[in-house]
Amino acid sequence: MAVWTRTRGRMMADPGLVVAFAAVGALLVLFVLYPAVRVLAHPRLADYLAVPQNLRWVQAARNSLVMMLLSTLTATGIGFLYALATSRRDLPLRRLFQTLSILPLFAPPFMVAFSYILMFGRQGLVTKTLLGLDVNIFGWQGLWLVQTVAFFPFAALIISGVLEQVSPTLEYAARNLGATESAVMRTILFPLARPGVAGAALVVAISVLADFGNAVVIAGGYPLLATEAWFRIEGLADLNGAAVVVALLIVPTFALFVLERYWVAQRVYTAVSGKGTRIEQPATPPPIKWLLFAACAVVAILVALVYVGVLAGSVASVWGYKWGPTLAHWRLGLAQGGAQLLTSVKIGALSALLTSAVAVVAAFIATRETLPLRRAVDFLAVLPAALPGVFIGVGYLLAFNAPPLILAGTAWILVLALSFWHIPFGYQAARAQLKQIEPSIEEAAQDLGASGLRVLWDIYLPLLRPAFMASFIVAFIRAVTNLSIVVFLVTPRNLVATYSILAMIGGGFWGAAAALTTALLAITLVSVGLARLLLGVGLRPIGGA
Amino acid sequence: MPEAHVRLRGVSKHLGTHLAVDDVSLDVPEGAFVTLLGPSGCGKTTTLRMVAGFYQPDLGEIRIRERVVNDVPPHRRNTAMVFQEYALFPHMSVTENVGYGLRMRRVPRGEARRRIAQVLELVGLSGQERKFPHQLSGGQQQRVALARALIVEPEVLLLDEPLSNLDAKLRVRVRTEIRQLQERLGKTTLYVTHDQEEALAISDQIAVMHGGRILQVGGPADIYFQPASRFVADFVGLANFMEGQVVDAHHVRVDGLILTLARPIPGRGRVTLVVRPEMIRMVPAVQNVEPALQGRVTATSFLGTVTRYWVAALGGEWVVDVPAPGHEVLRGEVALLLPSDRIHVLAE
């Protein structure tokens, strides 16, 4: 009681802060918690109990778990190898490999699948034209390949982060005590990377479970939870069924998320050392080096093919038959989808702005120790990372189609859904940056008479500008390329580019789809370029959040 | 003259385009504690790392007990090293860290256990076996690093600024312990530091390095009282310098004052003289009857064991340390008396 009174006393001493806290708290409750609760509460208990009798759903759930295991295994394995290789400073073409592995993080989420159909499908450039094979890439095997390529970058990025923390001195110490090269790997590098690998596997598993874009493009006939939710609504207008399916999906996703955040993330070894000399890494022995190089090269080619496929697809006359160049697809694509491209950019920019603003203020509030419930703010700000896009999509459909707030059919429902889904990216970036700021800076400001909000405005906002901009760019790119949420929320009045591309692929207009995808890709790459220019750094630090 | 255990002959090493070590020759006698002392970037750590085998010399040779080891990889050298940042394996317990070298040498489990217990006892870490590095204090981590190096019974023990991550008090205590342990085990030791006080306190021999070269090798007292150059005099403690004209083998004229030197002066003409602050006697000018330098006190600082004076004399600033604090602080005009046996003539 005494504690509460004191806390309240201190809170009331700073009304501006309390208002900001209430505003952010209300937004998070309304746009994160409320839709989630609506999804879970929508089906009746009987609907949940009837799930085991629905063979299609049982099949979808089983398939989702199988895909999760397969793709997580390969994506994490390749990610680990890739991270290990690029952590060697003397790896040839190291920078190129690093850049190539980051690129897919900013590609539209269906792009790998689409491009691999063009490259390795029945009409595939590689399979049919170059190798003369008749390959059916549609189905779980194709999805496995595609998800491996699409999600290994997450694993590589996370594991790299851990490996980079390993001081080269540890390698020297082990060598000094009699360890051979392979013993150094076995006894030092692998064990130190283990928590990173575990964390990476969990993040990849969540992404695989939630993957809608690749699954719908390459494995439409293979029942999966993420796609099933959409088929329920698209074909059958079965909102209740969709809610049940995404509720099923949330069970493993949320469990993995909790495991990652509260168990693995705490176990990463921090290097024990004071100030140390910066010493160069020992040279990698040539056989190991070239082995790693070969592995990287294979993966890099697979990544490069994703881009080659889409680009070639947009200019080849008739894919698989007539390879001569044409601009017809671009003309068709831009005529049909140019306006939607513009809508995508508008909605993306607006939502990214909202994401960054809310995220930065939420991060600031979560560090105020005088505020009660700040842990709740923290939880709500990272929660969307545990929610698959299809879950958010169904959630917004259920929550804002009826009073108190009716947004269905407007562009605002898209903006809000995308904004709040991407909050964790901005939030984590801002929290990381806040950690870098010395508490004494704030104490100095307070000492000179600044209130809580004043401290945010004068001290933290200027210092948080890089985090704000980084979060803006990432949120923008993800919003512009999003498919899993928009398929649920678009209306004929607010069509966006990704939705049109999906329709074009479905309708067999591969060239136009490729042209629009390329245009979308160009927009995201320009944004990344701008971010590099404005921030002076790449997007690596936040790409894996 | 004991046989040199580690011998460097004409060793040079480039790091990138920078000549980090330039024609270094050094003998480390069996069982001796030799320190490489110098400012950062002087090449001392690079030299040490060449002895460990992390770098190969571009020129020259390194012998350990008459065997040229230039091409021997680090894991076959048995030159265990204690690293500045300790380099403890964060995922291993104290036992696993200390036992790592034995594991790499495939020492049987039972013997390993016995030796681990023994060495932990030696460094005073018994009872901490199951802890991980992050659960230990800085001083304890330092001991684990030392134990991990000692347990493999290295031919030569290498220490790279092992005390720089400890606070001042602990630093003094641990360095005494390291020295006692080294003497007890009779382990040939090569030590690197930039701290001159540490070097003086711990070493049998000190090699002062600068710009990749060894400027002087000698016992701590030699280095301190008979520096070979201005750099050594300045780096190893505080020093007062004065220019003088040699009169004869035992007398130098400094600004009208004839100083007497106990040791004969090599050479003629102009020379530079060095006097340590604590060797100067200082009295109020009015009480003085002996020939002395005249000066004026410009500042004083009470340091506990001594009071330090800055005195304007001979157109420069002199530092004088007066022991026996608690005495009245001198002000104004003073006379500086220079003892004939503690004035050193620089060879250059």
How is B100-163 classified by DSSP, letter by letter?
Answer: HHHHHTT--HHHHHHHHHHHHHHTT-TT-TT--GGGS-HHHHHHHHHHHHHTT--SSEEEESTT
For residue B133, the chain A residues in CB contact (below 8 A) are 272
B205 and B251 co-located in one domain: no
> Are B56 and B158 within one domain?
yes
Contact (CB<8Å) B152/A273 = no
CA separation for the pair A113, B210 (Å, rounded) = 62
Tell how strand B4-15 and strand A322-325 pair up.
unpaired
What span, in angstroms and rounded, lies between the C-alpha atoms of A516 and A502? 10
A484 CB-near residues (< 8 Å, 6+ apart): A109, A210, A212, A213, A226, A388, A389, A390, A392, A393
**A7 within domain boundaries:** yes
**Rounded to an integer, what distance in angstroms lies between the CA atom of residue A439 and that of residue A25?**
24
Distance (Å) from the alpha carbon of B133 to chain A's nearest alpha carbon? 7
CB contact under 8 A, A274 and B85: yes
Q: Are residues B254 and B211 in the same domain?
A: no
CA of A175: which chain B residue's CA is closest?
B75
Contacts of B97 in chain A (CB under 8 A): none
Q: Which of B79, B89, B148 sits opposite A170 (nearest CB)?
A: B89
Asked if A272 and B81 come within 8 Å (Cβ–Cβ), the reply is no
**By the CB < 8 Å criterion, does B186 face chain A?**
no
**Are residues B267 and B217 part of one domain?**
no
Which chain B residues are Cβ-neighbours of A183 within 8 angstroms? Answer: 104
Instruction: Give the Cα separation of B84 and B74 in Å (integer).
Output: 18
Helix or strand run (H / E) with residue B63: strand B59-64
Residue B328 has pLDDT above 80, yes or no: no
A-B Cβ pairs (cutoff 8 Å, strict): 90
Nearest chain A alpha carbon to B165:
A274
A48 falls within a domain: no
Q: How far apart are CA A274 and CA A289, in angstroms?
A: 31
Q: Is the dihedral of CA A238, A239, A243, A246 positive or negative?
A: positive
Is there a domain that residue A397 lies in? yes
For residue B54, the chain A residues in CB contact (below 8 A) are: 172, 175-176, 282
Domain assignment of residue A74, given as a range: 53-268+293-315
* Other Cβ atoms within 10 Å of B28 Cβ, number: 22
Which residues in chain B are closer than 8 Å to A196, comparing Cβ atoms? none
One domain, residues A337 and A255:
no
From the CA atom positions of chain B, what is the Rg in Å? 24
Distances (CA, A) of A139 to A61, A133, A217, A299: 16, 17, 10, 22
The angle formed by the CA atoms of residues B253, B256 and B260, to the nearest 5 degrees, is 40
Which residues share a beta bridge with B218?
B206
CB crowding A211-233: b at 16 or more within 10 Å, else e:
bbbbbbbbbeebbbbbbbbbbbb
Are the CB atoms for A336 and A512 separated by under 8 Å? yes
Q: Are residues A226 and A143 in the same domain?
A: yes
CATH number at residue B254: 2.40.50.140
Phi first, then psi: what are they for B264, rounded to 5°? -65, 145
- Provide the pLDDT for residue A449: 73
Distances (CA, A) of A97 to A37, A90, A91, B310: 43, 13, 9, 61
Q: Are B193 and B50 in the same domain?
A: yes
Model confidence band, residue B189 (pLDDT cutoffs 50, 70, 90): very high
- For chain A, say whether B16 makes contact (Cβ under 8 Å): no
- Whole domain around residue B259: which residue ranges? 240-345
Q: Is B80 close to A187, i.e. CB distance below 8 A?
A: no
The rounded distance, in Å, linking the Cα atoms of A373 and A250 is 25
Looking at chain A, which residue has its C-alpha nearest residue B100?
A177
Same domain, A395 and A533: yes
Instruction: Supply the pLDDT for residue B204.
Output: 96
Residue B236: other Cβ atoms inside 10 A: 22
The alpha-carbon gap from A69 to the nearest alpha carbon of chain B, in Å, equals 28
SS3 B180: helix
pLDDT on residue A268: 59
Q: Which two tokens stand for residue A241?
A: 């069924």
Q: Hey, CA dihedral for B128, B134, B136, B141, is it positive or negative?
A: positive
Among residues B208, B233, B258, the one where a domain terminates is B233
Task: Please give the backbone phi and psi of residue B259, each rounded to the nearest 5 degrees, phi first.
Answer: -100, 140
Interface residue ranges in chain A relative to chain B, Cβ cutoff 8 Å: 167, 169-170, 172-180, 183, 187-188, 191-192, 194, 269-277, 282
- The pLDDT, as a whole number, for residue B326 is 63
Cis peptide before A404 (omega within 30 of 0): yes
Show the low-confidence residues of chain A (pLDDT under 50): 1-7, 271-277, 541-545
Q: Which residue of B has its CA nearest to A193?
A: B91
A32 and A65 within one domain: no
| pLDDT confidence band for B2 (50 / 70 / 90) | low
| Cβ separation B81–A173 shorter than 8 A | yes
CATH of the domain at A108: 1.10.3720.10
> What confidence tens digit (pLDDT) does each residue in A442-498 have?
778 777 777 777 777 787 888 888 888 888 988 999 999 999 999 999 988 889 999
Nearest to B81 among A176, A180, A188 (CB): A176
Among partner residues B76, B134, B164, which is closest to A272 by beta-carbon distance? B134
CA gyration radius, chain A: 24
C-alpha distance from A471 to closest chain B C-alpha (Å):
33
Q: Which residue of A has its CA nearest to B16?
A: A280
Among A157, A175, A178, A158, which Cα is nearest to A279's?
A175
**Mutation to test the A interface, candidates B77, B85, B96, B166, most A Cβ within 10 Å:** B85
C-alpha A309/C-alpha A506 separation (Å) is 17
Domain count, chain A: 2
pLDDT value, residue A261:
80
Whether residue A109 is contained in a domain is answered as yes
Q: With an 8 Å Cβ cutoff, are B104 and A282 in contact?
A: no
Domain match, A260 and A338 both: no
Within-domain flag for A275: no
Query: Domain check: are A25 and A64 in the same one?
Result: no
Q: Do the Cβ atoms of A191 and B91 come within 8 Å?
A: yes
Residue in chain A nearest B97 by alpha carbon: A174
Provide the shortest C-alpha distance from residue B76 to chain A (in Å): 6
Amino acid identity of A170?
L
The whole-angstrom separation of Cα B117 and Cα B185 is 17
Q: Do B253 and B173 belong together in one domain?
A: no
CA distance A247 to A36: 9
| A233 and A344 assigned to the same domain | no
Indicate whether A15 belongs to any domain.
Answer: yes
Gap between the Cα atoms of A205 and A195, Å rounded: 15
Asked if A270's CB is within 8 angstroms of B79's CB, the reply is no
> Are A275 and B164 within 8 A, CB to CB?
yes
The count of other CB atoms within 10 Å of the CB of residue B304 is 6
Residues B151 and B216 in one domain: yes
Is residue A431 within 8 A of residue A365, CB to CB? The reply is no
Tell me if chain A has a CB within 8 Å of the CB of B167. no
Total domain count, chain B: 2
Residues A78 and A24 in one domain: no
Identify the closest residue of chain B to A184 by CA–CA distance.
B104
| Interface check B91 vs A, CB under 8 A | yes
Q: Is B134 near chain A, with CB under 8 Å? A: yes
Task: Please give the distance of CA A382 from its chain centroid, rounded to a whole number.
Answer: 13
Pair (A25, A74) in one structural domain: no
Instruction: From chain B, pick out residues whose CB is under 8 angstroms from the CB of A170.
Output: 87, 89
Secondary structure tally for chain B: helices H, strands E: 8, 20
Q: Does B101 touch chain A (CB under 8 A)?
A: yes
| A242 and A122 within one domain | yes
B51/B193 same-domain check: yes
> In chain B, what residues touch A282 (CB-CB under 8 Å)?
54
DSSP letter, residue A260: I
The predicted-structure confidence for B43-58, as pLDDT tens digits, reads as follows 999 999 999 998 999 9
The answer to whether A175 contacts B91, with C-beta atoms less than 8 Å apart, is: no
On chain B, the residues whose CB falls within 8 A of the CB of A162 are none
Q: Is A276 within a domain?
A: no
- Residues A473, A543 contacting (CB under 8 angstroms): no
Query: Is B89 in contact with A188 (Cβ distance < 8 A)?
Result: yes
**Which one of B215, B233, B251 terminates a domain?**
B233
Which residues are CB-contacts of B338 (< 8 A; sequence separation ≥ 6)?
B259, B275, B279, B280, B292, B293
Nearest CA in chain A to B54: A172
| C-alpha A362: how far from chain center | 20
> What pTM was computed for the model?
0.81
Contact: B90, A188; criterion CB under 8 Å: no
Residue A168 to residue A280: CA distance in whole angstroms: 7
- Give residue A105's identity as a one-letter amino acid code: L
- Among residues B174, B204, B233, the one where a domain terminates is B233
Q: Count the neighbouring beta carbons within 10 Å of the beta carbon of residue B49.
A: 22
Residue A270: what pLDDT? 52
Tell which of A280, A315, A350 closes a domain: A315
Which of B42, B46, B48, B83 has the highest number of chain A CBs within 10 A, making it the mutation to test binding with A?
B83
Do the Cβ atoms of B100 and A179 come within 8 Å?
A: yes
Helix (H, G, I), strand (E, B) or coil at B293: strand
In a shared domain, residues A243 and A299: yes
CA A303 to CA A100: how far, in whole Å? 7
Instruction: For the sheet with B307-313, list strands across it.
Output: B281-284, B333-337, B293-302, B307-313, B316-322
Q: Kindly compute the dihedral angle of the four CA atoms of residues A466, A470, A472, A477, in this order, to the nearest 10 degrees.
A: 160
Give the model's pLDDT for residue B330.
83
Q: How far is CA A372 from CA A7, A25, A359, in A?
A: 8, 12, 18
**Which residues in chain A are contacts of B100 at CB distance < 8 A?**
174, 177, 179, 187
**Contact at CB, B104 and A271, closer than 8 angstroms:** no
**Residue B65 and residue B194 share a domain:** yes
- Candidates A167, A174, A187; nearest CB to B85: A167
pLDDT at A81: 92
Residues A168 and A304 in one domain: yes
Q: What is the CATH number of the domain that holds B134?
A: 3.40.50.300
CA distance B86 to chain A (A): 7
**Residues B82-118: tens digit of each pLDDT:** 998 888 998 899 999 999 999 999 999 999 999 999 9
Are B36 and B144 found together in one domain? Answer: yes
Domain identity same for B228 and B274:
no
Q: Is A42 part of any domain?
A: no
